[in-house]
Amino acid sequence: MIRPDPKERSRPGASARAARVLLAEDDDEMRTLLKAYLELAGYEVRAVGDGLAVMEALTDAEWAADVLVTDLHMPVMGGMELLRRLGESGAAPPTIVITSFGDDAIHNRARKLGAIEVFDKPFDSTRLVRAVKTLLDAG
């Protein structure tokens, strides 16, 4: 377990700004929680409730997301559909999937569609933060 690290805020990057995480989760409490954790780790977080909102957010040239964290089961557009479309567009940020239906088939499908990491609910929120950091460091 790690504590959110305040130093992340001043992490040196390609553009001297805080890394941006786009978060998609339909459950309000879960969304608020993950947003709080990511913000505590020093990231700039934009949180939305469905896949279509993710697509819209990604069209914003002013706010380019460095990492996408998305739930699979969401109204309007689910995570799988979102991954498929992003894969087609070829302009997807590195993606972490969180899901409550975690079986191997779903994991494999999500990975095939481009997810780098898949988290089964319930998971340790700090592990997600660590995974985001690893992804950003690698990128």
3 makes contact with another protein (CB under 8 A): yes
Q: Contact with another protein (CB under 8 A): which of 7, 12, 15, 29?
A: 29
- Strands of 1-139, DSSP E: 20-24, 44-48, 67-71, 95-99, 115-120
Q: Which region, judged by CB under 8 A, interacts with another protein, from 13-21, 42-50, 58-66, 116-124?
A: 116-124
Task: Identify residues 45-74 at the interface with another protein (CB under 8 A).
Answer: 73
What is the C-alpha separation between 78 and 99, in angstroms, rounded?
11
107 binds another protein (CB under 8 A): no
39 makes contact with another protein (CB under 8 A): no
Q: Check residue 81 for interaction with another protein (CB under 8 A).
A: no
Phi-psi region of 4 (alpha: psi -120 to 50; beta: other; left: phi over 0): beta
Q: Which stretch binds another protein (CB under 8 A): 12-20, 36-44, 58-66, 83-91?
A: 36-44
Q: What are phi and psi of 27, to 5 degrees?
A: -80, 120
Q: Are 56 and 13 in contact (CB under 8 A)?
A: no
> Cα-Cα-Cα-Cα dihedral of 10, 129, 48, 68, to 10°?
90
Contact residues: another protein, CB under 8 A: 1, 3-4, 27, 29-30, 33-34, 36-37, 40, 73, 100-101, 120-126
